[in-house]
Structure 1
Amino acid sequence: MSTTSSSPAGTESEEARVVDAAPKQLLIGGKWRPATGDRTYEVEDPSTGRALCSVADATPSDGLAALAAAHEAQASWAKHPPRERGEILRRAYELIQQRHEDLALLMTLEMGKPLPEARGEVTYASEFFRWFAEEAVRIGGDYAVAPSGSGRFLVTQQPVGPTLLITPWNFPMAMGTRKIGPAIAAGCTSVIKPAHQTPLSMLALAEILQEAGLPDGVLNVVTAVGAGSVMEPMIRDGRARKLSFTGSTSVGRKLIEQSAEQVLNVSMELGGNAPFLVFADADLDVAVDGAMQAKMRNIGEACTAANRFYVHEDVAEEFSRKLADRMGSLRIGRGVRDDVEVGPLIDATQLGKVDELVNDAVGRGAEVVVGGSVHGGEGYFYPPTVLKNVPLESRMTREEIFGPVAPISTFTDEQTAIDEANNTEYGLVAYVYTQDLHRALRVSEALESGMIGLNQGVVSNPAAPFGGVKASGLGREGGKVGIDEFLETKYIAIGGL
C-alpha cells in the first residue's frame, strides 16, 4: 500500500475561500437567517478531525417555520408552468457545471472523498437536474370512454404537496438533487434536512437554485445536529404530505412509524448488503474491475457498495489475489490531492465500526490478504482491506460495512450462491459476473434485489430507477418513475354524455 503526503494540491487559502463562500444559515421562505437563539455547530474535516466552520443548528420551531413557508408557497408553485419549472432546473444544472471545481473541493473538505470522486458526484448530481428538467413537461394523464359507453374517465396527475426531504452524508449533493429535482419538476415545495456532517454542499446547492430563479419558499433548508427533534414535529404536523428519506433502515423504520399518524406518502431508500457473485466462467479481469467500482466507490461508504463477495471455489484464490493487488496499491491521504485514491471515513464512529467488523471476522477465522488494521495518524483513515475465507456467521455478512473492506467467501454451486445472496433482510442491489447468458438471466431473476449489476460494477444512473426491496426501502428515485413519487393521481368521472 502506498501513502501520499497530507498536504493539499491547492492552497489553504483556496480551501478557506470555498468554505467561506458557502452559506452557513438556514434558508426559510427565501431568506437566509440564523437559527433561533443563534445556535450553531461545527462541521468537521474528516481527514484531519478539525473544524472547517460553524453552521446554523436549527430548533424544532425553525423546522416548523420552514414547513410553514413551504405550505404557503405550495398553491402558487403547483400552478407554475411546467416549462418554467424545467427551465429553473436547467439553469441550476448549468450553474453547477460552471462551479464544478469549487463544489467538488467543498464536498471533499466536508465529506472526505478524493477530489476525482467529488468531481464525479458533482457531475452525477447535476444530471438529476437535467433529467428532471426534461420530465417536468412530460407529466401525463389519461382520457378514456367508460366501458359502458355512458361516461368518460379523465385521469390527471397533480403535485402531492409540501414534502420533507432527508439526505445522508455519503453523497451530500447527489442525494439532494435526486429528491429536489423531481419535487420541483412535479410542482411540490420542500423542506430539506441534510446530514449534519455534510451541510455545506446542500447549502451551496440551495443558493444555486435561488440564483436560477426558484421562487421563495419552494425550497427551504434546515441544518441541525438533532435531526429527530427537528423533523418529528414537521412529520406529525399535518401540513406536509410526503416524506422522502435516504439513510439507514433503522432510522427509516422510525420515520415510517412517525409518518403513519398523518398517513404521509413515504419514499424510503434504506440500507443495503449487496452480494457480489463471481461464477467460475466469469472473466476475472472484468470481475476485478467491477469489484473495484462496486467496493471502492466513495471509499466503500455507499448503500450500493459490494458488501459480500461470493466467489466460486475454482477461481476464488486468483480473484482474491488480483483484488488484493489492486486494493493494496491504492493511495491513501487527504482527498484534496489529485493523486489520492482513498480518503478518510466520515467520522470516528464509522472508523470504529469498520475496525470492529474486521476484527470480528478475523476472530472467527477469516484471513487478511491486505490491510486489516487502522491507518495511523490524524483523520479517520482505514486502509483498503481484503479478507478471504470469511465465515458466513461473521457480522459483516449481515451488517453494512460502509468502508473499504472486501470479505470473500466461496461457493460450489449456483443455487448455494443464490441462497447465500438472498440470506439477508436487505435487497437493494446485487452484482453478478458470468459469461453464460442463461445463468445470467436465471440468477438475475432469482436474486431478491431491486437492482442488478450484470457484469457491471456501477448501477446508479439518473435515467434509471433506483431503489430496493425488503428492508432496503419503498419507492424508486430517478428514471421515468422518479417524478411519480411526487405526484398524486386524480380520477374525474364525467357523466351526461
Structure 2
Amino acid sequence: MSAQRLLRTRCFPRLPAAMLRRYSLDASNPLLRTQGYVNGRWLSAASDFPVVDPATGDEIARVSNCGPAEAKQAVDAAYEAFHSWKRNSAKERSVVLRKWFDLMMLYKEELAQIITYECGKPMSESLGEVAYSASFLEWFSEEARRVYGDFVPSPAKDRKILLLKQPVGVASIITPWNFPSAMISRKAAAALAAGCTVVVKPAEDTPLSALALAELAEKAGVPPGVFNVVPCSRETTPAVGEVLCTDPLVAKISFTGSTATGKVLLKMAADTVKKASMELGGHAPFIVFDSADVDQAVSGAMASKFRNCGQVVKQIADAVSRGATVLKGGKRLEGSFMEPTLLSDVTTEMICTKEETFGPLLPVIRFNTEEEALAIANASNVGLAGYFFSQDVSQIWRVMEALEVGMVGVNEGLLSTPEAAFGGVKQSGLGVEGSKYGIDEYLEVKYMCFGGLKP
C-alpha cells in the first residue's frame, strides 16, 4: 500500500496534553501510595525521588527511594512467606487472586487516573490497561487449579513414575514504564497462582501503579511477604537490580525491557543459575499486501502503532538525514508528546527500521514481492510480534509460518489477551507470559520414582 493511499484513508489528530486527562491526581485518591511495600508493611527509605507527569514535567509525587538494603529485606520476606504460601491449596490461592481482580475492577477509575498521570496515557487507554491488567488476575486465578502433573507408565513392573509440578520459589519481577500495571499483573498473577512469592521493582518513571496494586493486594488478603514492591530512582536501580538478580534466595527472574538490559540481568543471574523469563525488545514488522483490505489495515496500524506517544525525535532526524520524507507530522507537541508521523522513502539503513520505537512513528518501505517483504521483516535480530494484512488464504499461511516472530497478527493490530501466549524469538526473549503456558514459567517438574512394589 502506498503512503499516499494511507494518508487519504485516515487523518492524524493532534492531541494537546490538556485533552489527555479528566481528573487531577491528588491525595484524595485512595490508592495513591508513596512508600515501599515489604512484608505487608509500608516502608519509608532514607531518601525519596520525584515522579513527574510526562505531559507537563510537573512533579506529582515523591516516592521512597529503596536501596539494596530494602531490596534484601524484601527478598528475605518473600522467601519466608514462600514456605507457607506454597502450602496453601490451589483453591485458596485462586480465591485470593479473584478477590484482587474484583478490587481492581472496583477501583478501575482510581487506578486509571494514576496510570494517566505517571505514564501519560489518555484516560480511555488507561482504563483499557486496568481492564487488561485485571484480566491476568482473573485468568491465573482459574489456572491456579489446573496445575496438573503426570502419571507415566513405567517400563518396570515394580515401580511407578510420577511427575509433579512445584513452585520454584521467590521471583524477582522487573517491569517497564509503558504498561505500568499490566506488566506487573501478567507476571505476578502467574507466580502467585503457582505458589511463588514475588518482589517487584517497577520502572522509576511509574512506581505509583505498582504501589496501588500492592494496596489492593493487601485488601484482597494476599499474605505479608507474598507480594512486595521496592520502588527506586534511576540512580539506585543498578544496585537494587543486582540484589534481585544475584541473591541466592531468589529462584526466578522475570523481566520486561530492552534487550541490552536483559543481557545484563541474565549475566548477573548466571552465577546462581536462576530460572529466567525475558520479554525483551521488538521491532514489529507491519506488512500490507496487495490483496489487503486497506481500511482494515489502516485501523490495525492505528491500533498497534500509535500508542504511548513520544521518544521518536532522534529516529525521525536520522531518517530525514538519510533521505526519508516526512509526509505528515514530525514535530514534538507540548510536554513529552509527539505528533503522529508518517515517513516515506525509508530504507533499512535508517535507525527507525532497527531500533524499537515507543511512539507514533510509521516508516513506510515499499516492496515488490512476498519474498522481499519477508526478507526485510526477518532481517532484525529481534522477533517479538509481527503483523500483516492479506485476503489471500494461501499467502496467509505461508507468511504466518515464515515470519520469525513469537506472535503474529493476521488482519489484526491488537492481539494480546491473557488466554494467548505472549513472547518472542531470537533476541526478543525467553519464555512466554499469559495462556496456560505462562504459569509453567514459575514451576519446576519433579520426577518421583516409586519403587519396590510387588507386581
1:4-42 Cα distance to aligned partner (Å, 9 max, x none): 472776454xx214557411111111111101x2x1000
What is the aligned-residue identity percentage? 45
2:448 paired residue number: 492
Report matched runs for 1:162-311 at 5 Å.
162-225=170-233, 226-299=236-309
Rounded to whole Å, the distance in 2 between the matches of 1:8 and 1:406 is 22
Rounded to whole Å, the distance in 1 between the matches of 2:66 and 2:26 is 24
The answer to whether the Cα contact below 8 Å between 2:31 and 2:110 also exists between their aligned partners in 1 is no
Report matched runs for 1:389-428 at 5 Å.
389-428=345-384
Report matched runs for 1:81-120 at 5 Å.
81-120=89-128
- Which residue, out of 6, 11, 26, partners 2:18? 6
1:454 paired residue number: 410
1:351-395 Cα distance to aligned partner (Å, 9 max, x none): 3xx1111011111111111001222x4x11110001112122111
2:322 paired residue number: 364
The answer to whether the Cα contact below 8 Å between 2:173 and 2:198 also exists between their aligned partners in 1 is yes
The answer to whether the Cα contact below 8 Å between 2:39 and 2:77 also exists between their aligned partners in 1 is yes
Q: Which runs of 4+ in 1 moved over 6 A?
A: none
The answer to whether the Cα contact below 8 Å between 1:18 and 1:106 also exists between their aligned partners in 2 is no
1:84-121 Cα distance to aligned partner (Å, 9 max, x none): 10111100111111111111111100100111100000
CA drift at 1:465: 0.4
Rounded to whole Å, the distance in 2 between the matches of 1:296 and 1:149 is 62
* Paired amino acid for 2:130: V
The answer to whether the Cα contact below 8 Å between 2:120 and 2:308 also exists between their aligned partners in 1 is no
**Is 1:435 aligned to 2:447, yes or no?**
no
SS in 1 for 2:73: helix
* Paired amino acid for 1:71: Y
Rounded to whole Å, the distance in 2 between the matches of 1:9 and 1:67 is 37
CA drift at 1:3: 4.3
The answer to whether the Cα contact below 8 Å between 2:21 and 2:123 also exists between their aligned partners in 1 is no
The answer to whether the Cα contact below 8 Å between 2:29 and 2:110 also exists between their aligned partners in 1 is no
Rounded to whole Å, the distance in 1 between the matches of 2:27 and 2:184 is 23
- Which residue, out of 384, 395, 419, partners 2:340? 384
The answer to whether the Cα contact below 8 Å between 2:201 and 2:231 also exists between their aligned partners in 1 is yes
* Paired amino acid for 1:286: Q
* Paired amino acid for 2:321: G
1:330 paired residue number: none
Report matched runs for 1:62-141 at 5 Å.
62-141=70-149
- Relative to structure 1, the CA distance from residue 20 to residue 40 in structure 2 (aligned partners, 3 Å threshold; closer, same or farther) is farther
1:432-469 Cα distance to aligned partner (Å, 9 max, x none): 11101110000110110000001100111011000000
Structure 1 gaps, min length 5:
300-344, 346-350
CA drift at 1:184: 0.7
TM-score by length of 2: 0.94
2:3 paired residue number: none
* Paired amino acid for 1:368: V
CA drift at 1:127: 0.3
SS in 1 for 2:26: helix
* Backbone CA RMSD of aligned residues: 1.3
TM-score by length of 1: 0.86
1:294-341 Cα distance to aligned partner (Å, 9 max, x none): 111333xxxxxxxxxxxxxxxxxxxxxxxxxxxxxxxxxxxxxxxxxx
Rounded to whole Å, the distance in 2 between the matches of 1:86 and 1:260 is 32
The answer to whether the Cα contact below 8 Å between 1:18 and 1:105 also exists between their aligned partners in 2 is no
SS in 2 for 1:489: strand
Rounded to whole Å, the distance in 1 between the matches of 2:133 and 2:118 is 17
Rounded to whole Å, the distance in 2 between the matches of 1:7 and 1:422 is 39
1:212-245 Cα distance to aligned partner (Å, 9 max, x none): 0011110111000122111202322201000000
- Relative to structure 1, the CA distance from residue 463 to residue 398 in structure 2 (aligned partners, 3 Å threshold; closer, same or farther) is same
- Relative to structure 1, the CA distance from residue 5 to residue 275 in structure 2 (aligned partners, 3 Å threshold; closer, same or farther) is closer
Question: Greater shift after overlay, 50-59 or 290-299?
Answer: 290-299
* Paired amino acid for 2:276: V
Rounded to whole Å, the distance in 2 between the matches of 1:422 and 1:5 is 37
* Paired amino acid for 1:380: S
SS in 2 for 1:74: helix
Aligned residues: 439
1:100-150 Cα distance to aligned partner (Å, 9 max, x none): 111111110010011110000000000000000000111100112212333
- Relative to structure 1, the CA distance from residue 9 to residue 261 in structure 2 (aligned partners, 3 Å threshold; closer, same or farther) is closer
2:6 paired residue number: none
CA drift at 1:265: 0.2
Rounded to whole Å, the distance in 2 between the matches of 1:21 and 1:219 is 16
